Chain A
Amino acid sequence: MNWQLDRPDFEVIAGWVQPGERVLDLGCGDGALLKLLIETRGVRGYGVDIDDANVLAAIANGINVIQSNLDAGLAGFVDGAFDHVVLSRTLQTIRHTQDILDAMLRVGREAVVSFPNFGYWKNRAAVLSGRMPVSEDLPYQWFDTPNVRFFTMLDFEALCADMNILVRERQVLDEQGQLVTEEHNFLGSLAVYRITRG
C-alpha cells in the first residue's frame, strides 16, 4: 500500500472527529491517522489492516490494530460501537463496495470515506489520450494496482442515494492537497465524505 507521510485528507478527517470519540480506521496502514487522532483529539479506537508490514508498523506506533481482510466484512465488531468509522483511500481496493459501506454504518454512527476521484480532469485526459491514469492519488500502473473499483464522485453519490445513505459533508482536494471549491468532480483528485444512514 502506498503510504505518504503528508496526507491532506487526514486534516479534513481530523476536523470531523470530536474529542474523546471512538474511532475505527479501516485500512489503517501504519496507524498514522489514528495516532494523529489519539494525540490531537484524545480518541480511542482500533485500526484494521490486512498487510503484514502495516500491522507491524501500527503495533510499533502503539496503535491497537486488528489484522483482518475488509472483504470479509466487519463481523467482529458490534453494532454502533464507534462514533466514526474511517475508510481512507481504501474503498477502491475493496471488491464488495456495498457490503463494506453497510458494515461501516452498522458499527459506526457516521462513516468517513476518502477515495481518488476518477473523474479528475487529468484522469479523464489520460483516458482520452488512450492510457489509464497515473497520478498523485492514483500512483499505480494498471497491472500492479491494488485498486479493483474505479469510480467518480458522481458515481459514489449515486450509489449513496441508491443505498439510502446520506452525504453529510464533503471536502474535495486537488493533487496539491488544496481544497477545491468548484467543479468538484472535474477539479478534485481526492474526495472525502461524511456519510450516515438516511
Chain B
Amino acid sequence: MDLDNKKTGSVGIVEAQRAHFDTPLELRSGAVVPAFDLVYETYGTLNAAKSNAILVCHALSGHHHVAGLYAGQPKSLGWWDNIVGPGRPLDTDRFFIVGVNNLGGCHGSSGPCSLNPISGQLWGADFPMVTVPDWVKAQARLADHFGIDSWAVVIGGSLGGMQALQWSIDLPQRVRHALVIAAAPKLTAQNIAFNDVARQAILTDPDFHGGHFYQHHTAPRRGLRLARMLGHITYLSDDQMGEKFGRVMRNDSGDYNFGYEVEFEIESYLRAQGDKFAGFFDANTYLLMTKALDYFDPAQAYDDDLAAALKPAQAGFLVVSFTTDWRFAPSRSREIVNALLKNDQNVSYAEVTSNYGHDSFLLAIPHYHAILSAYLERIRL
C-alpha cells in the first residue's frame, strides 16, 4: 500500500542502531536465548527525566525502520512514517520514539536468519518460537538500555497492538499509556485458519528444506509468496478491492484468455505483492510471527477472563478500530474495551470510519490521526 506522505513533517534521514544483550532470555516455550541483538531506530530526543519515550511495536511484517529515510535511498521510507515527525501524532518535537525489530525478525535482530553463536551457523528453523510476552521481555531490555523506567506510550497496530496490550499486563509500572489499534485480545478460529494456510504454503514448498534452506542457497519463495497473497487479501476490505480493481482486466479487449495467466487486475496486483514480499522477507520469520499471533491470548491463564488478565494494568488506554477491518473487526476491539470498563480502568475507544480494511491503521486518515494527536497531546511528561 502506498503511503501518502509529504516531505514536510518527516523525521528526515535516519540510521539503524544495534544493541547487544548478554543476559540469557528465557522464553515462554522454555527455550533460552543465550544472548541476542535488537536493531532499533530512534526519532526525537530523550528528555532528562526520560519520561517522554514512546515504543512503537511492529506487526507481522514490520521492523525497526518506522519513519524517515536512509541516506541515499529515496525509496526507503519507514513503514509508519506518516505518524512520526514534527507536528505529527508521534510528535518528535515532544517525544522520543523508539522503533525496534522484534526478536525472531529478519531485519537485523536475532532471528532465524542471524548467526547462532553456539553452532556458528544461521539459526534457521532452530531459532526458538517466540511469543508476544517474550517480545515484551526483550523490548524491556531495550528500555533498560536507554535507562527508561517507564514508557510514556507503547503503541502498535494489529500484532503491534497486541504487544502494547501485553506490556500493560506484564510490566504495568513501565507503561503509562497503551495505544491498541486494529487489534484483538486473541485470534479467532478463522484468523488461525488463515495463518495455517499461509504456513502450509511455506512448509510444503520443496525449497523449504525443513527451515534450513539457507544451507541449500535457496528459499521457499513460492510458499512465502502464496502466504503473503493470502494475508494481503485479509488486510483489505471487499469494498476497497471492488473500487480499486473490480473486474478490470489486463487485456483491453475484455475477452477472456481461457488460460491461467494473469487476467484480472487483482491477480496482477496480488502476485506483484507476493513477489515483492518473497524477495525480501524470511520464511522462517513469517512462520514464527504467525505462531506468535496464534498463541497470543492473555486471558488464557485467567480462565478466559480478559478483565482478570488486564486487572494489573495501570496504563491509560486508547483503543482504535476501523469499520471495514474484518481481520480484527471493531467487535474484537470492543472486547478489550469492555474488559477495561469492567475493571473501571481509564480507556477511550474510537471506531474510525474507513474503507480500507485492516490496513487502515497504516494510513494517514485525518480523523484517525486527529484522535491519536488529541490523546497524545494530553499526556503529561
Where the two chains meet, the residues of A that have a C-beta atom closer than 8 Å to any C-beta of B are 22, 44, 46, 52, 55-56, 58-60, 62-68, 75-78, 81
- Cβ of B350 within 8 Å of any chain A Cβ, yes or no, is yes
A-B pairs, top 4 by smallest CB distance, nearest first, are A76-B338, A60-B374, A59-B374, A66-B349
Complex Cα–Cα for A44 and B351 (A)? 23
Q: Are B350 and A62 in contact (CB under 8 A)?
A: no
CB neighbours (8 Å) of B342 from chain A are 78, 81
Q: Are A76 and B341 in contact (CB under 8 A)?
A: yes
Given A55-B350, A67-B350: A46 touches B341 (CB 8 Å cut-off):
yes
Given A52-B353, A67-B349: A59 touches B341 (CB 8 Å cut-off):
no
Complex Cα–Cα for A22 and B353 (A)? 30
Q: Are B341 and A66 in contact (CB under 8 A)?
A: yes
B303-346 interface code vs A (CB 8 A; 1 in, 0 out): 00000000000000010000000000000001001100110101
CB neighbours (8 Å) of A81 from chain B are 341-342, 344
Complex Cα–Cα for A62 and B177 (A)? 13
Q: Which residue of B lies closest to A69 (CB)?
A: B351
- Cβ of B33 within 8 Å of any chain A Cβ, yes or no, is no
- Cβ of B31 within 8 Å of any chain A Cβ, yes or no, is no
Complex Cα–Cα for A65 and B378 (A)? 14
Given A60-B377, A64-B346: A78 touches B351 (CB 8 Å cut-off):
no
Q: Are A65 and B348 in contact (CB under 8 A)?
A: yes
- Cβ of B371 within 8 Å of any chain A Cβ, yes or no, is yes
- Cβ of B347 within 8 Å of any chain A Cβ, yes or no, is yes
Q: Are A52 and B367 in contact (CB under 8 A)?
A: yes
CB distance from A52 to the nearest CB of B (A): 6
Complex Cα–Cα for A63 and B305 (A)? 26
Q: Are B344 and A22 in contact (CB under 8 A)?
A: yes
Complex Cα–Cα for A136 and B349 (A)? 32
Q: Are A56 and B341 in contact (CB under 8 A)?
A: no
- Cβ of B375 within 8 Å of any chain A Cβ, yes or no, is yes
Q: Are A77 and B341 in contact (CB under 8 A)?
A: yes
- Cβ of B233 within 8 Å of any chain A Cβ, yes or no, is no
Q: Are B337 and A56 in contact (CB under 8 A)?
A: no
Q: Are A59 and B375 in contact (CB under 8 A)?
A: yes
Complex Cα–Cα for A117 and B93 (A)? 51
Additional 4 contacts, C-beta under 8 A, given A46-B347, A58-B348, A66-B349: A66-B337, A66-B348, A77-B341, A78-B341
Interface hits, B138-159 → A, CB 8 Å: none
Given A22-B344, A44-B344: A62 touches B371 (CB 8 Å cut-off):
no
Q: Which residue of A lies closest to B349 (CB)?
A: A66
CB distance from A33 to the nearest CB of B (A): 16
CB neighbours (8 Å) of B374 from chain A are 56, 59-60
Q: What would be 16 A-B contacts, judged by CB atoms less than 8 Å apart?
A: A22-B344, A55-B350, A56-B370, A59-B348, A59-B350, A60-B378, A62-B378, A63-B348, A64-B346, A64-B347, A65-B348, A65-B349, A66-B349, A68-B351, A76-B338, A78-B341
CB distance from B351 to the nearest CB of A (A): 5
CB neighbours (8 Å) of B350 from chain A are 52, 55-56, 59, 67
Q: Are A76 and B371 in contact (CB under 8 A)?
A: no
CB distance from A16 to the nearest CB of B (A): 21
Complex Cα–Cα for A81 and B348 (A)? 17
CB neighbours (8 Å) of B371 from chain A are 55-56, 59
